[in-house]
Amino acid sequence: MDIVALKARRVFSRDHGIDWFHARMFHGTCHYADDYALGEDLTNPLRLEKNVFRMPGIAQPSLNLVLSDAVRSRIEGVPNIAFNQVVFTKLFSLPFAEGDFRHWERGREMAEIDAWIDSLPHDPSLANGLGAYHELVVPRGKDFFPDYAIDTVSVEMPSGVVKRGMIVHASPDFIKEFPIYWDGALLIEGDLFRTAFAPDLDLTYFVHAVFRC
């Protein structure tokens, strides 16, 4: 059985054509302290500041994915996941493109450019036609591993993450019960990844590796 380890790209080079600015424009910025895990009381919505230019179907502003209605519909019925409401606290439309680094004209330091982005006004009218978005809430694997026979697997991620060599935990029985879970990366059963996630996944902003267990 194959499994996909998925993470947002957080290490950048000019070879990728993007830096942290592009990633912020793509993923957005969320505003609560901790990402929810399955079984927790989903008291607070995910509050997201987002550029609506080239709005993606899948983004990862923190640990959990944010999904469009279309992507959510493909995983309805998948066991042991939940969805949390996404509330857009700021919407703006700012064109950006891979390979375009003119944002550095706004300042010499990341903090200066972040301050400029933070100063952009909220335009509520941009919500029209945007559709609903949802935080995908998944289990933390470590909370459930003791009940299963689990294998330890070494996974080499592509460039674009802080730690390329990862140790993850998986087994055929576990992935059948928990087709999506968190264990240092988002682990997704292979067929589910290909049918539900891959069609909307922008691999400029994500990295993934496939392994077998």
| DSSP string over 100-155 | --GGGGG-SSHHHHHHHHHHSPP-GGGGTTT--EEEEE--BGGGTGGGS--EEEEE
Domain boundaries, the chain: 2-212
Q: Which residues contact 51 (CB under 8 A, 6 or more apart)?
A: 25, 26, 28, 92, 93, 94, 96
pLDDT at 179 over 60: yes
Dump the DSSP string for the chain. Answer: -EEEEEEE--S--GGGT--HHHHHHHH-EE--SS---TTS---SPEEEEEE-TT--SEE-SSSS-EEEHHHHHHTTT-TT-EEEEEEEEEEE-----TT--GGGGG-SSHHHHHHHHHHSPP-GGGGTTT--EEEEE--BGGGTGGGS--EEEEEEPPSSSS--EEEEEE-HHHHHH-SEEESSSEEEEHHHIIIIIGGG--TTTEEEEEEE-
pTM beyond 0.85: the answer is yes
Starting at the edge strand found earlier in the chain, the sheet holding 46-51 runs 29-30, 46-51, 82-92, 133-137, 66-68, 58-59
pLDDT tens digits, residue range 85-129? 999 999 999 999 999 999 988 877 888 988 999 999 999 999 998
Pairing of strands 58-59, 66-68: antiparallel
pLDDT tens digits, residue range 60-86? 999 899 999 999 999 999 999 999 999
Instruction: Answer with the residue of higher pLDDT: 33 or 135.
Output: 135
pLDDT at 33 over 70: no
Mean pLDDT across 134-157: 94
- pLDDT for the residue numbered 34: 61
Instruction: Answer with the residue of higher pLDDT: 24 or 105.
Output: 24
Instruction: Answer with the residue of higher pLDDT: 38 or 170.
Output: 170
Tell me the pLDDT band of 162, cut-offs 50, 70 and 90: low
- pLDDT for the residue numbered 105: 84
Q: What is the mean pLDDT of the chain?
A: 92
